[in-house]
Amino acid sequence: MNDAVALTPAGCVAGARPGLAERPELLRLEHVKKRFRGGVEALRDMNLTVNTGDFMSLLGPSGCGKSTALRLIAGLMQPSAGRIEMLSGKGAKHGPDVGPDIGVVFQEPTLMPWARVAENVWLPWRLQGRSYADARDDVLEALKLVGLEKFQRAFPRELSGGMRMRVSIARALVTKPRLLLMDEPFAALDEITRFRLNNDLLALREAIGCTVIFVTHSVFESVFLSDRIVVMGARPGRVIRELEVDAPYPRDEAFRTSATYAAHCREASDALHHAMGEAA
């Protein structure tokens, strides 16, 4: 994603970010529990604080509730117990409409195949009752951020897998959210495309300054992207450990081969192995 423009949503600050200890709280989960109707307890007593400007990865074994936690934060489902609170602004809405304060990128692009790229990106504003004519500048701005402004009239079938995911990211950003939630968005892509989109995501994050919560199974991806890694235990999910990746941004290929990166990967891997051995 080249020639990114500076997009600064409310509550986001482009450019230099304060240190972790200096960031104001944005989101808080207190004693959150989620039990599904079939009796499966996905989360138990999950406590988490997200600060403005964080790039936080949720790392944990399959089935530990990472995606469930993300959907609860988005307001796409209700917790069985506990409290989720946005500490400023309108906060998450419960139901199918997550509201303009939160953008969500799912594991699959989930684009409308019959609609052109620009119409797919317009969708969040359309659900808010805003016409395309009124939202057009926001749509084009979001597409420019992900390097796809020249593909606004293309259909999803005409794009590569990586390009379709970029459209999904643009759709999540079009409302200028304060919080971007990403649920393993690159897991289905080949390694080369995944590395490229990791690089692009960090460049995008530098441009817009948004808070990001990123779900991943990959130790290497979590270390490359994040300044905070939250390791979750096996089901029922809860926070086992938090790690800080103190390497400065921007990060590039040199960081991936550095001793600092390797050390953080070892630490995260050890924490993940411990989490996988946790008894419910």
pLDDT digits (tens, 9 = 90+) for 231-271: 999 889 899 999 999 999 989 999 999 999 999 999 999 99
**Cβ–Cβ < 8 Å for 178, 92:** no
In a domain, 10, yes or no: no
pLDDT confidence band for 72 (50 / 70 / 90):
very high
- Of 19-33, 79-93, 198-212, the least confident: 79-93
Q: Are 278 and 215 part of one and the same domain?
A: yes
pLDDT (tens digit per residue) in 121-131: 999 999 999 99
Half-sphere exposure of 171 (CA within 13 A, CB side): 27
Please say if the pLDDT value at position 105 is more than 80: yes
| DSSP run (H or E) holding 167 | helix 161-173
- Of 4-8, 43-47, 165-169, 269-273, the least confident: 4-8
Which CATH number goes with the domain that contains 61?
3.40.50.300
pLDDT, position 223: 97
**Cβ–Cβ < 8 Å for 23, 53:** yes
Q: Are 144 and 271 part of one and the same domain?
A: no
Lookup: tokens for 119: 């119409």
Average pLDDT on 116-139 reads: 95
Please say if the pLDDT value at position 158 is more than 60: yes
In a domain, 229, yes or no: yes
Please say if the pLDDT value at position 97 is more than 80: no
**Cβ–Cβ < 8 Å for 280, 232:** no
**Cβ–Cβ < 8 Å for 65, 91:** no
How many angstroms separate the most distant Cα atoms in the chain? 54
pLDDT, position 87: 75
- Residues spanned by the domain of 260: 55-89+179-186+197-280
Strand 55-59 to strand 41-51: parallel, antiparallel, or no bridges (unpaired)? unpaired
Q: Are 81 and 120 part of one and the same domain?
A: no
What mean pLDDT value characterizes the chain? Answer: 86
Count of structural domains, the chain: 2
Q: Are 236 and 277 part of one and the same domain?
A: yes
pLDDT, position 8: 36
Q: Are 129 and 268 part of one and the same domain?
A: no
In a domain, 44, yes or no: no
pLDDT, position 165: 94
Query: Regarding predicted confidence, which is higher, 227 or 13?
Result: 227
pLDDT, position 210: 86
Q: Are 117 and 83 part of one and the same domain?
A: no
Q: Where are the beta strands (DSSP E) in the chain?
A: 25-35, 41-51, 55-59, 81-86, 102-105, 179-183, 211-216, 228-232, 239-244
Q: What is the pTM of this model?
A: 0.87
**Cβ–Cβ < 8 Å for 244, 260:** no
Q: Are 69 and 126 part of one and the same domain?
A: no
Residues 6+ apart with CB under 8 A from 87: 24, 25, 26, 27, 28
Q: Which residues pair with 103 in a beta bridge?
A: 180
pLDDT, position 7: 36
pLDDT (tens digit per residue) in 193-215: 899 999 999 988 888 888 999 99
